[in-house]
Amino acid sequence: MVREISISEIEDLVGSELGVSGWIDIPQSRIDQFADATDDHQFIHVDPARAAQSPFGGTIAHGFLTVSLLSAMQADAVPQFREPTIGINYGFEKLRFMVPVPVEARIRGRFVLKEARMRAPGLLMTTYGVTVEIEGGKKPAMTATWLTVFQFDPKDVPQRDSSEAEL
């Protein structure tokens, strides 16, 4: 079960590993469903016989499938705020696919809080260093610097000098 924290605790966690998600299975059926959802049916993802002849030796997950699972990994690994909030993806500063995720692999996400700062009253910007690991793998599948914005009711946020807020 993911622990809860208060908005007032977040700055103390900067530089810390916040958590590691559970393993997520990547069977061919998940890859096929993602291919259907995105209209990306490249053979290295959906044709096991042909992909077996490729340098990968079999089908591999789409890189964007790995990215799409970050939200589930974050929900499993990162402390949730006690205060009511809305979390919104803001984007990525950096995103790299290091090695392909082979079919039938299991992956998990490791989250380090790199930065947390109030951008305006009730608006918190967080920057996570994320590493997606492949079970038994020597290298990560993916690394990313992920930005998320959390919107709070300003009355739930500790008051700061207004000169510190950034827009």
CATH number at residue 108: 3.10.129.10
8-state DSSP, 157: S
The pLDDT value recorded for residue 155 is 78
Q: What is the average pLDDT value for the chain, to the nearest integer?
A: 92
Amino acid symbol at 130: V
Q: In 56-104, where do the E strands start and end?
A: 80-81, 85-97
Structural domain count, the chain: 1
Please classify residue 12 by burial: count the beta carbons closer than 10 Å to its beta carbon, then call 0-12 exposed, 13-18 middle and 19+ buried. Answer: exposed
Q: Would you say residue 52 lies in a domain? A: no
Q: What is the pLDDT of residues 90-121, one digit of tens each?
A: 999 999 999 999 999 999 999 999 999 999 88
Q: Is residue 158 over pLDDT 80?
A: no
Confidence class for position 84, pLDDT limits 50, 70, 90: confident
Region 40-58: mean pLDDT is: 97
Region 133-162: mean pLDDT is: 86
Q: CA 14, CA 104: separation in Å to the nearest integer? A: 34
Q: Would you say residue 78 lies in a domain? A: yes
Q: Would you say residue 54 lies in a domain? A: no
Identify the residue with better confidence: 82 or 28: 28
Confidence class for position 167, pLDDT limits 50, 70, 90: very low
Confidence class for position 2, pLDDT limits 50, 70, 90: low
Q: Would you say residue 37 lies in a domain? A: no
Q: End-to-end CA distance of the chain: give it in Å, rounded.
A: 34
Q: At 146, which helix (H) or strand (E)?
A: strand 142-152
Print the domain residue range for 15: 4-25+64-156
Q: CA 143, CA 131: separation in Å to the nearest integer? A: 5
What tokens appear for 15 in the block?
């530089």
Q: CA 70, CA 133: separation in Å to the nearest integer? A: 12
Q: Would you say residue 58 lies in a domain? A: no
Alpha helices of the chain — where are they, by DSSP H? Answer: 28-38, 43-46, 48-52, 63-68, 70-77
Q: Is residue 166 over pLDDT 60?
A: no
